[in-house]
Amino acid sequence: MRVLFLPWSQPTHYMPMVPLAWALRAAGHDVRVAAQEHTAEAVRRSGLTVRTIGAGYDYLEGFQRLHEEALRHQRENPGRAKTLDQRGDMPPEQRRKLMEARSAPFVKTAEAMAPDLVALVEDWRPDLVIANPFAMAAPVAATVAKAPLITHLTGPAFERKMGLFPMSGATPDVWPGDLRRLYDEHGVEPVAELADAVVDPCPQSLQFPGIPNRRPIRFVPYNGPGPAPAWIDAPATRRVCLTWGTTTTGLAGTDGFLVPRILSALEAVDDLEIVVAVTAADRALLPGLPQRVRVVEGLPLHLLLPSCSLVIHQGGSGTALTAAACGVPQLMVAGMPDQVVTANMVVKAGAGVSLESVDAIAEATRAVLGDAALRSGARDLRAEIDRQPTPAEVATEIAR
């Protein structure tokens, strides 16, 4: 069987796909990944084959502009914030206009990807397409290849809850005009559910209910390759991991990089060993550090977190699920909308605490480290993840 993976143009959206891609490859299937250059290097580092597509458009500038506009709107209208449920109940025309504004970078990415993607599937003829919900060119690839389409989630499906994204149940009446034209050109059927199934690595305790054709898969943490230093396996007490993900600063800007402020606040907490896990780019944003702080660049979180009593992070789904799989309590200061959703889900599951600012970070750190209920909730979440079907089992089911 030939399987084409189509991730969204961020490495962190590709990484949850890797265990299933490995499982399919290990089962003897021919696996290829089609991705923009943002993600192509991450694919190569995962040991899989990649075809670079969509070189004509870089979504990052448009995404950053949307984020800045959302923050400005929140500042100017502090009392008018809408919940995800309220947004989903908007009149169709209002939803369509909101969708066109919010999804412009995703639609333009799909338009840039489509020609290369069509050429690939016409020549290679995949039997199956597995795609991230934000990769809106995926229905074009599946239709041209006459192959089933499976979407692969990265965490809590906030995009489906909003009801604004075509790859996540949005009805055709709210699809942006440019996307409708792209789909019409390639014969994509105008239906709300474009995928035949949804592979979901997010445990039900952290997921919204009602996802159609949901196929759970065990979240196997993959955070890229990296060395395993000896100190990770040495016994540690009150070791705290502080991380800000790998893409948040690039998407939201350096003003949202709160690690220096958090480190300053944690100076008031005694007997901590703090490990700051950052990218090389974010490392340059850190000032001089106390002796008890260790900074690591490019260290896979799944190697570090089992030795930690707590992880402090920005609410990214990859960090949250890795912590959940390792049974580690979480303390989150979320800023971006999807991060807020993820943080709220972790809190609801009883495995963490979410703060709106860093002002109370020291007090919250002490509280979480001493909270037996949160430790129990984190262990329960790990046990729930361990009960899910393995990637190998899901690969067999998909092939069947």
- Determine the pLDDT at residue 79: 46
Question: In the predicted model, what is the mean pLDDT of residues 79-90?
Answer: 47
Residues 6+ apart with CB under 8 A from 143: 186, 187, 188, 189
Q: How confident is the model at residue 86 (pLDDT cuts 50, 70, 90)?
A: very low
Residue-wise pLDDT tens digits, 206-239:
999 999 999 999 999 999 998 899 999 887 779 9
120 CB neighbour count, 10 Å cutoff: 21
Ranking 2-11, 315-324, 328-337 by mean pLDDT, the lowest is 328-337
For CA atoms 11, 200, 168, 4, the dihedral sign is: positive
CA angle 299, 281, 246 (to 5 degrees): 55
Q: How confident is the model at residue 250 (pLDDT cuts 50, 70, 90)?
A: low
Domains and their CATH numbers in the chain: 2-217 (3.40.50.2000), 230-386 (3.40.50.2000)
Ranking 7-16, 219-228, 232-241, 303-312 by mean pLDDT, the lowest is 232-241
226 CB neighbour count, 10 Å cutoff: 16
Cα separation, 11 vs 15, in Å, equals 6
Nearest residue to 135 (alpha-carbon basis) of 118, 152, 122? 152
32 CB neighbour count, 10 Å cutoff: 19
Question: In the predicted model, what is the mean pLDDT of residues 340-365?
Answer: 95
Strand partners, 128: 3
- Cα distances (angstroms) measured from residue 104 to each of 107, 164, 274, 300: 5, 12, 40, 33
- Determine the pLDDT at residue 236: 78
Q: How confident is the model at residue 17 (pLDDT cuts 50, 70, 90)?
A: very high
Q: How confident is the model at residue 240 (pLDDT cuts 50, 70, 90)?
A: very high
pLDDT of 247 higher than 70: no
pLDDT of 316 higher than 70: yes
Nearest residue to 12 (alpha-carbon basis) of 296, 314, 310? 314
Ranking 83-97, 178-192, 353-367 by mean pLDDT, the lowest is 83-97
| pTM exceeds 0.75, yes or no | yes
pLDDT of 351 higher than 60: yes
pLDDT of 400 higher than 80: yes
Question: In the predicted model, what is the mean pLDDT of residues 370-385?
Answer: 98
Question: In the predicted model, what is the mean pLDDT of residues 307-322?
Answer: 95
- Determine the pLDDT at residue 84: 43
- Structure tokens belonging to residue 352: 């963490």
Question: In the predicted model, what is the mean pLDDT of residues 129-147?
Answer: 97
Amino acid at site 387: R
Highest mean pLDDT among 258-262, 265-269, 345-349: 345-349
- Cα distances (angstroms) measured from residue 180 to each of 173, 290, 377, 397: 9, 55, 44, 32
Question: In the predicted model, what is the mean pLDDT of residues 261-286?
Answer: 87
